[in-house]
Chains A and B, each alone.
Chain A
Amino acid sequence: MMDRMRSSVRRLRFGRSCTVLALATTALLPGAQAADPNARTGLLWGDLHVHSSYSLDAYATDNDSVTPDLSYRFARGIPIRRPGLDAKVEIRRPLDFMAVTDHAELIGLQVLLDQRNPLLLSTPWGQKMLAIHLDPKSGGVMRASGGAAGADSPERREMLGQIFSPALRQATWQAEIDAAERNNVPGKFTTLFGWEWSSMPGGKNLHRVVLTDATPAQARQFYPYSNFESARPEDLWAFLEATRRRVGADFIAIPHNSNISGGLMFDMVDSAGRPLTAQYARMRAAWEPLMEVTQMKGTSEVHPALAPSDEFADFEIRRKLLAGTPTPPSEADYARSALLRGLEVQRRVGVNPFKFGMIGSTDTHTGMSSVQESDFMGKLAMDAPLSQHYKPSRPVIFPDWEMSASGRAAVWATQNSRAAIFAALRRREVYATTGPRIALRVCGGYSFEAPDARVRDIAALGYRKGIPMGGDLARARGGKAPSLLVHAIKDPLSGNLDRVQVIKGWIDAAGKTHQRIYDVAWSGNRRRGANGKLPPVGNTVDVTTATYTNTIGAAQLATVWRDPDFNPNETAFYYIRVLEIPTPRHSLYDAVALGIDYRETGQPATIQERAYSSPIWYTPET
């Protein structure tokens, strides 16, 4: 029976055949690509931003069945039932780690109502919500409750006291902890405890995913801090600080969708509008060592208006705030400009508040982490079936074709365990991809030589002669220029590699910031043109069949690059961008399946998937 259902799901997106895709054919796959025993660290793949049916908005958009437990099980490779379809689905490649990060605000309300939770139903507001929940014409409890950002009023405070009481919050948090514990398989699949703090003043997204390394016993001593306590990031950090002192567990807060923060995420002032201070910068750097640079609601690396000479900047850009209002590009909204702003603030107050590494994750609200263009399950459960993408039966907040089938968090960890993964996140030895499992090693140092790129064990040499991504370089004797040892390997199930780029940002003596992009390794025999740019790699995508071939591009690219424009007195950062050859975007697969012209999707036919490393910073001694 299960086999029959699985095969029917595979057929759902017929037309999505692709020469290099291999289908999993058995029910149970081992959960992990274990750490390579030959290296000090091994590469683990995961998703640190997944919403289950316990998120108010996930349930309200038809995810009424994928609980935290099922969400983890799906990521482990166990088939689960897909909401909205009479069919089971399984992940193509199981993940190595995952965090269910439900919205803290009114967490689990509909599930508690489904369970007829006595604690909830003992209150008048609980009864009122049950009546609304059971009335198919009511529009649901998310609307009735005002959601994560309802306006404060005495009536609302009374309501929250009953349907979002400490006892209920403790109970739902306990359910999240239990689900994570049940699915944690040492060495194979790691679960992390986490939640999302959903601040959005004026509809501008300031959301943070919060993760902790707490033991279950420690985690029981607090419950998720919500936007109802405070919409100010400073207050969230104060909560994390106080809770760390009280229970002895560490936390990190990961901002996401800076691209739709309306100029707030990496603002040069604090929540009260005052210029950033050293104290603010220290707090922020301490609690926010990472940002989520790519996910379903767009990629936040850079906006074309902020980097006009970067021909790859116009990539999966979202130009609308959460409420659907258009948002102009701001330096406060994108990673590259934020990294530059960090150098400016550091120059003024002595501390860099925006010293972050980069990861990708999905922010899926289906409970099913899905990033494959050829097999994208959408952001919302209501995106099933396929016809919903073309002519939705009701208003859609995030139309499927506007969403990105992105992203993944790659972690270089010493083993697949909660402690090892959390440590790697803390030291920023992590990176982002827009979905594909592109392996990327980056080490910075002063003694790398060209032949180092050809050694067999690049990792051993990289650690011996340098420091990995996410780390810091200080001034070398004689002001020598640093070099980067970079090794990128394609995803065996995705496109070949086009090129490796170094993106450098720095601040000069006058306090002005600069950025420059260097092509440092590429496939084939291409030469830079008169404009200094490397020609495009080409395109093998057939838009009528949504297929491509790996006849262009390279399986791996490795190089040693020394900064040719180095000034030992200027603070700088370097991060790596790896591009794949063009492959079909998920909307093209849909167009082929629906028999329509892909231009009707309003999206480009192809996509150059990519990886972004965490930066390495160079700081002259102060």
Chain B
Amino acid sequence: MAGRLLRDPLIHFLAAGALLFPIHHLLSPSDTGSAAPAAAPAVEKTIVVDRPALLAFMQYRSAAFQPRFFGAQLAAMPDRDRKELVDSFVREEALVREAHAMGLDTGDYVIRRRLIQKMMYLVDDAATANFAPGDAELERYFRAHQADYQRPPTLTFTHVFVDKEAAHPEGIQRAAGRLKAQLEARHARFEDAPGYGDRVLFLQNYVDRTPDFVESHFGHGFTAALSKLAPSDHWQGPISSDYGYHLVLLTARHAASLPTFAEVREQVKDDLLHDTIARYRETALADLTRRFTVRMKDLPATAESPSKGGGSSALALLP
């Protein structure tokens, strides 16, 4: 009898649990500060095994949510497989209940994050329950946050390209210089650009394009050089990029502008909603924490003289 007991995995587990339980409580901070183990909550001792429970179990286990597929699988399952399934379900359930009873979920940060996420869903739902702003309110918000709705500046130019991957017997810089002289001598216009230089890689003409767009094609150096130029009837450059040299005819530059309220109404509404949620969260969390007594205990004294670099060492570790 004693031999069998020693070989029984359940007994091993419970024995280990008996050791673990007080240790866990010793390590956990508790309200009273007392190290005495609290009475374990009663564990519900009946595990109900039915079809919905098994189906849910199968789906979570496979990390796939296909009730019909698993329903069919369950229906067609031979007795031996079904017994195995039931066994693993019962074990999982027993482990989870025992873990709850032992309070193992309390110190687990992953579980805490998930609980917080669920609470925040509820908070956000409450925040948006009565959200129905009128146009006047939206327009006020728009006026107060105009900087967020600025449209970026734009440039209009065409270019003649000297490709560093193409053959230039005279050297690429000299080729660029010769082309520029040619463009000037022939008074080449915007629409003449396709007749000169090497085959362009991306676009020939950049009409009302933002500096970001130009930068996504030719990089930061090119765009910075281009934005130093003034619009002109003359060919300018060459400006270099990763791909070679460009002679540019920059004809227009438009400053950043502000759209009308009507044009961005939907976006404003969305932004106001976002702000409303953020504000509501602040209030809700402040209300919630007010319901608790926060007792500061044995905190290290605040630094009298902050380090010269500004900011604590902990902050410096953040990206």
Contact = CB atoms under 8 A, between A and B. Distances in A.
A78 B274 CA distance: 14
A81 B128 CA distance: 15
Contacts of B289: none
Contacts of A80: 270
Interface string A384-408: 0000000101111100000000000
B69 A29 contact: no
B239 to A, nearest CB: 15
A202 interface: yes
Given A37-B205, A489-B202, A555-B243, A30 B210 contact: yes
Contacts of A27: 148-150, 152
A30 B201 contact: no
A207 interface: no
A583 to B, nearest CB: 16
A397 B64 contact: yes
A457 B148 CA distance: 41
Q: Is the interface of A mostly helix, strand, loop or mixed?
A: loop
A512 interface: no
Contact of A555 (B56, B111, B165, B274): B165
B89 interface: no
A391 B110 contact: yes
B63 interface: yes
Nearest to B273: A81
Interface residues of A, number: 69
A568 interface: no
Given A28-B152, A394-B114, A33 B203 contact: yes
A550 B242 contact: yes
Interface in B227-278: 242-243, 266-267, 270-271, 274-275, 278
B225 to A, nearest CB: 15
Contacts of B208: 30
Nearest to B111: A393
Contacts of B121: 64, 136
B216 A492 contact: yes
Interface in A465-513: 489-490, 492-493
Interface in A1-56: 1-3, 11, 14-15, 22, 24-30, 33-34, 36-38
Given A147-B65, A458-B199, A555-B243, A69 B266 contact: yes
B122 A136 contact: yes
A33 B270 CA distance: 26
Contact of B67 (A136, A143, A394): A143
B66 A322 contact: yes
B97 to A, nearest CB: 15
Contacts of A203: 64, 66, 69
Contact of B210 (A29, A37, A81, A86): A29
B274 A81 contact: yes
A149 B114 contact: no
A151 interface: yes
Interface size class of B (residues with CB under 8 A): 35 or more
B319 A11 contact: yes
Interface in B141-164: 145, 148-152, 154, 163
A345 interface: no
A323 B201 contact: no
A397 B65 contact: yes
A355 to B, nearest CB: 32
A492 B67 contact: no
B71 A151 contact: yes
A526 interface: no
A20 to B, nearest CB: 8
A103 interface: no
B68 interface: yes
Given A30-B210, A73-B267, A139-B56, A322 B204 contact: no
B199 A30 contact: no
Interface in B101-153: 110-111, 113-114, 117-118, 121-122, 125, 145, 148-152
Q: Is the interface of B mostly helix, strand, loop or mixed?
A: helix
B17 interface: no
B229 to A, nearest CB: 20
A142 B118 CA distance: 17
A180 to B, nearest CB: 14
Interface in A137-192: 139, 142-143, 146-147, 149-151, 182
Nearest to B208: A30
Contacts of A11: 319
Contacts of A397: 63-65
A146 B68 CA distance: 7
B209 interface: yes
A146 B203 contact: no
Contacts of A22: 212, 215-216, 219-220
Given A30-B213, A151-B67, A324-B62, A489 B114 contact: no
A149 B69 contact: yes
B60 A395 contact: yes
Given A14-B319, A149-B69, A393-B113, A29 B213 contact: yes
Contacts of A36: 203-204
Nearest to B197: A456
B287 to A, nearest CB: 19
B150 A489 contact: no
Given A1-B148, A25-B212, A391-B110, A142 B267 contact: no
Interface in A547-564: 550, 554-556
B160 to A, nearest CB: 11
B69 A30 contact: no
B194 interface: yes
B178 interface: no
Contact of A492 (B60, B148, B202, B209): B202
A555 B113 CA distance: 46
Contacts of B114: 393-394
A554 B210 CA distance: 27
Contacts of B72: 151, 202
B21 interface: no
A323 B213 contact: no
Given A22-B216, A458-B199, A554-B165, A29 B270 contact: no
A29 B152 contact: yes
B280 interface: no
B217 interface: yes
Contacts of B220: 22
Contacts of B203: 33, 36
Nearest to A394: B114
A53 to B, nearest CB: 13
Given A37-B204, A80-B270, A439-B202, 4 more contacts: A1-B148, A143-B59, A323-B64, A492-B202
Interface of B: 56, 59-72, 110-111, 113-114, 117-118, 121-122, 125, 145, 148-152, 154, 163, 165, 194, 198-199, 201-205, 207-210, 212-213, 215-220, 242-243, 266-267, 270-271, 274-275, 278, 319
23 contacts: A1-B275, A3-B148, A15-B319, A22-B212, A28-B152, A38-B205, A70-B270, A86-B278, A114-B125, A142-B65, A146-B68, A149-B67, A151-B71, A151-B72, A202-B69, A203-B66, A323-B62, A323-B70, A324-B62, A492-B202, A492-B218, A493-B216, A556-B201
Of all A-B residue pairs in the complex, the 8 with the closest CB atoms, nearest first, are A14-B319, A395-B63, A26-B152, A324-B64, A203-B69, A323-B64, A324-B62, A323-B66
